[in-house]
Structures are given as C-alpha cells and as structure tokens.
Amino acid sequence: MVLKITLKPGEKFVVNGAVILNGDRRNHLLIQNNVSILREKDVMQQADANTPVKRIYFAIQMLYLDESEKQRYYADFTDRLQEFMGAIKDQDIADKCASILADVNDCRYYRALLTAKKMFPFERERLNYDASGADEDAALGMSP
C-alpha cells in the first residue's frame, strides 16, 4: 500500500527520526514501504507535553519515532496512561485509553496518536484548565 503525502512549501516532516524540510514548492511524496512519518503539525515538542493527555501523546510519539529508546518510552507511556485512567470516570475516554493501549502494544503507534489527539478536547473542557496548561495537573491531582 502506497502512502501519498502532499507537502506545503517549507513544511517539515519527520521520517524515522530524521527531520526533513520541503523546498519552496508544493510537493507530493509517495511512500512505498513502512516508515515512521509525522508531519510538523503532528509533532509535539517535549515542552508542550504539559497536560496528562499530552504526556501520553508525547510518549507514544517517541515510541513511534525513536526505536532505540523503546523500553524507556514504553514505561513512561504506561505510567502516564495508568495515572490518567485512575483520574477519569468518563467511559468513552476510558474506552479510548484501552484502544490506545491495545494499539501501542500492537505497535500501531500512528493510530494510537490519532486516538490520543481526540482526547485533547475532553481534557480541555472537562478539567477546566487554561490554555497555557498551568493548572491541569492540579485538576487531576498529579505532579509533572
């Protein structure tokens, strides 16, 4: 199966950990084998992983992009997921967490990232923290 990606001028993307910058024109890439690829808009910097769900997302992202540290990132992922699941009561979100865990355990990291991203609005709305993420840990009773 071929993956077709259309890149905007100057758009960055990551392929197997390497950051690549598109030139000054719109381009199309055809990816013909299995690689870990994320567009710049889907890449989270560690400093931006400042909420429980974002920490889960970041750990999955690192599992996806950095195979060499898989054990460390998996331990971080499971710790973060367990903390979050212990603090929520919403069944839909608990089901999403179970789906994420199954996908990560089956090395379907991109799919797990998509599901984690769907939980960002829940976290923002239900836990009532500001956009800067300053009081989200307090809302869950967690430390960074």
Tokens of 108: 């379907």
**DSSP letter string over 53-91?**
HHHHHHHHHHHHH-GGGHHHHHHHHHHHHHHHHHH---H
Q: Check residue 119 and give its pLDDT.
A: 96
Query: Which stretches in the chain have pLDDT values below 70?
Result: 1, 127-144
The DSSP output letter for 137 is: H
Q: Which domain holds residue 20?
A: 3-42
For residues 110 and 68, membership in a common domain is answered with: yes
For residues 15 and 33, membership in a common domain is answered with: yes
Q: Check residue 129 and give its pLDDT.
A: 59
Residue 45: strand, helix, or coil: coil
pTM for the whole structure: 0.82
Residue 117, exposed/middle/buried by CB under 10 A (0-12, 13-18, 19+)? middle
Q: Check residue 71 and give its pLDDT.
A: 95
Q: Check residue 67 and give its pLDDT.
A: 83
Whole-number Å distance between alpha carbons of 28 and 49: 30
For residues 64 and 113, membership in a common domain is answered with: yes
Q: Check residue 113 and give its pLDDT.
A: 97
Q: How many domains does the chain have?
A: 2
